[in-house]
């Protein structure tokens, strides 16, 4: 059963890497905007944030995360929790994201 959860989690991460903020050429996962992914049976809870609390495309991105997560086989529902603690900072990005944005 644990292998199934790991498989779903890996697929969720793969899908999250296809979600982009239209203003930033890096996916939200590598930007460090995903704080936590929990799989409980077919229910998924994702804690995420934005680089700014006033992100103008927040609703679009949250809907994209939900739709892509719920499209994964074995996922019945996805709850997206928007959090701002801890506050996002550039250190949360992967090295690949920093390189893409010219920060390395």
Average pLDDT over residues 71-75: 94
The pLDDT of 12-25, averaged and rounded, is: 93
Residue 5 vs residues 29, 40, 62, 78, 79: alpha-carbon distances, Å: 19, 8, 22, 14, 17
Question: What is residue 1's predicted lDDT score, i.e. its pLDDT?
Answer: 56
pTM, 2 dp: 0.91
Mean pLDDT, residues 48-52: 94
The encoded tokens of residue 9 equal: 């989690």
Helix (H, G, I), strand (E, B) or coil at 34: strand
Mean residue pLDDT of the chain comes to 93
Question: What average pLDDT does the segment 6-11 reach?
Answer: 90
């Amino acid at each position: 059963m644990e292998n199934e959860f790991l498989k779903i989690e890996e697929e969720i991460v793969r899908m999250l890497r296809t979600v982009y903020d239209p203003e930033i050429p890096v996916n939200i996962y590598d930007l460090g905007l995903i704080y936590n992914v929990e799989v409980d049976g077919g229910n998924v809870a994702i804690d995420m944030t934005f680089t700014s609390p006033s992100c103008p495309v927040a609703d679009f991105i949250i809907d994209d995360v939900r739709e892509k997560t719920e499209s994964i086989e074995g996922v019945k529902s996805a709850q997206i929790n928007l959090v701002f603690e801890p506050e996002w900072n550039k250190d949360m990005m992967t090295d690949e994201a920093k390189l893409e944005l010219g920060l390395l």
